[in-house]
Amino acid sequence: MTSPLELAANAFTAAAILLAGRNNVHTWWTGIVGCALFGLLFARNRLYADVVLQMFFVGTGVLGWWRWLRGNNGAPLPITHAGWRSLAWMIPAGITATAAYGALLHFHTNAYAPFIDSAVLVFSVIAQLLMMQRRIENWPVWLLVNTIAVPLYYSRGLHLTAFLYLCFWVNAIVSWVWWTRLARREAGA
């Protein structure tokens, strides 16, 4: 049975993700609440990398909120592309960090699926950093994260959360297209 905690975490996080896809600044406060609730839920399910990730999301939620509103010399940050140089180091760094954190969890905790859980953590951090900068490439990284997270959460009996992340997978595709259009529109203005 789905707990009230899981329901509340999913509701706030679903709102945040939909708002992010629509380029709406209210994504940040709804995300902060949802992530705090998910942190509690994941701690109860021994998904420790996900607990750390939720704490990271809460902290970066505050910074992201400010950056989206005032990060361009006091003006809202525009949607842009990340440079190829930035993207070129992210994949090997992500794989290396996943292996290192997964090993740490594997050898020093009773974590469930430590390497898979660590991949969700590391690539979510990368996607979040890209989103905070309003970089279009955050969406394909979120696609990767959601592809890994759906079976992980389902395997822990978090069926509603797995379904939510499946919806996030679809949202990432739609949002990728939408943000690309918005960036073209802003560049042409």
| Residue 62: domain span | 1-76
* pLDDT tens string 98-135: 999 999 999 999 988 999 999 999 999 999 999 999 99
Q: Are 90 and 45 members of one domain?
A: no
Looking at the fold, whether 172 and 183 belong to one and the same domain comes out as: yes
Find, among 119, 73, 76, the residue nearest to 94 by Cα.
119
Q: What Rg, from alpha-carbon coordinates, does the chain have?
A: 16
Cα–Cα distance, 142 to 46 (Å, whole number): 23
DSSP state of 77: P
40 and 110 part of one domain: no
DSSP H stretches of helix in the chain: 4-21, 27-44, 48-70, 84-108, 114-132, 138-155, 159-188
The arithmetic mean of pLDDT across residues 141-146, rounded, is 97
CB 45 within 8 A of CB 53: no
Judge whether residue 189 has pLDDT over 70: no
- Tell me the pLDDT tens digit for each residue of 16-73: 999 999 999 999 999 999 999 999 999 998 888 889 889 999 999 999 999 988 888 8
Q: Model-level pTM?
A: 0.88
Query: How far is Cα 119 from Cα 62, in angstroms, rounded to an integer?
Result: 24
Pair (85, 169) in one structural domain: yes
Query: Same domain for 44 and 98?
Result: no
CA distance 65 to 55: 16
Residues 138 and 68 grouped into a single domain: no
Residue finishing a domain among 42, 76, 110: 76
Kindly state whether residues 161 and 93 are assigned to the same domain: yes
Strand partners, 75: 72
Q: How far apart are CA 52 and CA 59, in angstroms?
A: 11
**119 and 27 in a common domain:** no
50 and 60 together in one domain: yes
Domain match, 117 and 160 both: yes
Q: How far is CA 73 from the centre of its chain?
A: 26
83/165 same-domain check: yes
Q: Does residue 39 share a domain with residue 97?
A: no
Out of 76, 94, 122, pick the residue that ends a domain: 76
